[in-house]
């Protein structure tokens, strides 16, 4: 049974760095058939994809957060992390980690998010 | 970024009804379209990947169709546990983007 679990401070001061870790169990983070994502959801709003990281360390960040986001992977602990610098109240959200897998179809390899953490609420406030 | 637009934004229906939720992509995304269900306080759960592939364990009353820019999620006969928010997501290109969500409520 694959499980993802976010952890980190629930309260961060403005201008500081938000740091979250996603612990993965039931699967190896080095499994080449998957890659690892962060998604956030502002209170009462929809889903916003932040970016992904492969076990090799290859990353992609959504353009609106690229200048402040950094992801890393720790294969020895089977976990990956998100740092978001210079946070403001607009970064208050529930942060989810999620595993991406592929559906291998005739039309190409289709990524989708098959396992998610339960979410971690991070509030930015002084 | 590819904009994903769902309609309607909210929908009231009764148990047993057949409902359809639409998702339109701002450009051709072929069949790179996924559907998720989210209940209050929970993480999203994948229902359908690659437009029409039902995830293991998802009831067969859920179905997906479409290609290119227009996609549909159909629930053939609503059950009480289906009242939730539904999101489409494109993974044709980065940045991946979600629709704004469709809230399915009990009439």
B58 CB neighbours in chain A (<8 A) are: none
Q: A–B: how many Cβ contacts below 8 A?
A: 71
pLDDT reading at A32 higher than 90? no
Residue of B nearest to A114 (CA): B46
The predicted model gives A67-75 an average pLDDT of 97
B39: three-class secondary structure by DSSP: coil
Q: How many other CB atoms are there within 10 angstroms of residue A83's CB atom?
A: 15
Q: Which of the residues B1, B46, B50, B71 would you substitute to probe the A interface, choosing the one with the greatest number of A C-beta atoms within 10 Å? A: B50
For residue A108, give how far its alpha carbon lies from the nearest alpha carbon of chain B (Å).
9
Quote the CA–CA distance of A44 and A14 in Å, as a whole number: 21
Tell me the per-residue pLDDT of A88-98, one tens digit each, with 9 for 90 and over.
999 999 999 99
The Cα-based distances of A64 to A60, A110, B45, B83 in angstroms read 12, 24, 25, 32
Mean pLDDT of chain A: 96
Across the interface, whether the CB atoms of B99 and A111 are under 8 A apart is answered no
Among candidates A46, A63, A98 on the partner chain, residue whose Cβ is nearest the Cβ of B100: A46
Place of tokens 């290609």: B67
Task: Count the alpha carbons within 13 Å of B82 in the hemisphere toward its beta carbon.
Answer: 27
Of A13, A23, A35, A16, residue with least CA distance to A120: A23
pLDDT in tens, chain B (107 residues): 999 999 999 999 999 999 999 999 999 999 999 999 999 999 999 999 999 999 999 999 999 999 999 999 999 999 999 999 999 999 999 999 999 999 999 98
What residues in B contact A117, CB-CB < 8 Å? 43
The CA distance from A112 to A35, in Å, is 10
Name the minimum distance, in Å, from the CA of B87 to any CA of chain A: 8
Cis peptide bond upstream of A30, omega within 30:
no
**Which residue, among A24, A38, A34, A29, has the nearest Cα to A84 in the 3D structure?**
A38
Q: What is the mean predicted confidence (pLDDT) over A21-39?
A: 95
In the stretch 7-26 of chain B, residues with CB closer than 8 A to chain A read none
Q: Searching chain A, which residue's CA lies closest to the CA of residue B91? A: A111
- Look at the block and give the residue holding tokens 């409902």: B19
Query: Measured between CB atoms, which of A108, A112, A116 is closest to B34?
Result: A112
Under the banding of pLDDT at 50, 70 and 90, the label for residue A105 is confident
pLDDT given for residue B46 in this prediction: 98
């Amino acid at each position: 049974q694959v499980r993802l679990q976010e952890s980190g401070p629930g309260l961060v001061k403005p201008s500081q760095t938000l740091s979250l870790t996603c612990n993965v169990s039931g699967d190896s983070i080095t499994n080449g058939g998957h890659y690892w994502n962060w998604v956030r959801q502002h209170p009462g709003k929809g889903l916003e994809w932040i970016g992904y990281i492969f076990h090799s360390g290859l990353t992609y960040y959504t353009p609106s957060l690229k200048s402040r986001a950094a992801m890393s992977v720790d294969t020895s602990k089977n976990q990956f992390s998100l740092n978001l610098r210079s946070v403001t109240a607009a970064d208050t959200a529930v942060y989810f980690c999620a595993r991406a897998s592929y559906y291998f179809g005739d039309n190409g390899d289709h990524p989708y998010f098959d396992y998610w953490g339960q979410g971690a609420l991070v509030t930015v406030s002084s | 970024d590819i904009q994903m637009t769902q309609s309607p934004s909210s929908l009231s229906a009764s148990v047993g009804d057949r409902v359809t939720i639409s998702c339109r992509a701002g450009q051709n995304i072929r069949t790179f379209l996924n559907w998720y269900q989210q209940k209050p306080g929970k993480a999203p759960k994948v229902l359908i990947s690659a437009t029409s592939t039902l995830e293991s364990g998802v009831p067969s009353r859920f179905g997906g169709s479409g290609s290119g820019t227009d996609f549909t999620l159909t629930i053939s006969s609503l059950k009480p546990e289906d009242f939730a928010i539904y999101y489409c997501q494109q993974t044709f290109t980065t940045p991946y983007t979600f629709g704004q969500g469709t809230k399915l409520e009990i009439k």
